[in-house]
Amino acid sequence: MTNILYHNPRCSKSREAKALLDEKGVDYQTRLYLQEPLSQDELAQLITRLKEPLNALVRSKEAEYKAAGLNKDSDQAVIIAALVEYPKLLERPILATKKGVRIGRPPERILEIL
């Protein structure tokens, strides 16, 4: 499996995570998820491998969160549908490796799965 960094270059934490991977010489591919949104299947696979509460994957302070009808009790199907419709809601950065998936908040957390 190729390491994949789900990245938004406008996000400082995402840029920090990318710089950290580059500094460590990690081989990875960058997925600009705002330009190439994840499908329902891709999101479901990511969620399955994520060892965090489902809500950690969603940016709850964005206006789209309310527009999507999300709340802290939203189930997986509702969250996936919202992330497909509003890719901006996906928390970033996210690193996926053969060892798992981590949200880089703080960015150093991605090192746990290298």
Catalytic residues: 11
Q: 10 exposed, middle or buried (CB, 10 Å; 0-12, 13-18, 19+)?
A: exposed
Q: For the beta carbon of residue 29, count every other beta carbon within 10 angstroms.
A: 10
Name the percent of the chain in helix, strand, coil, to the closest 5.
45, 15, 40
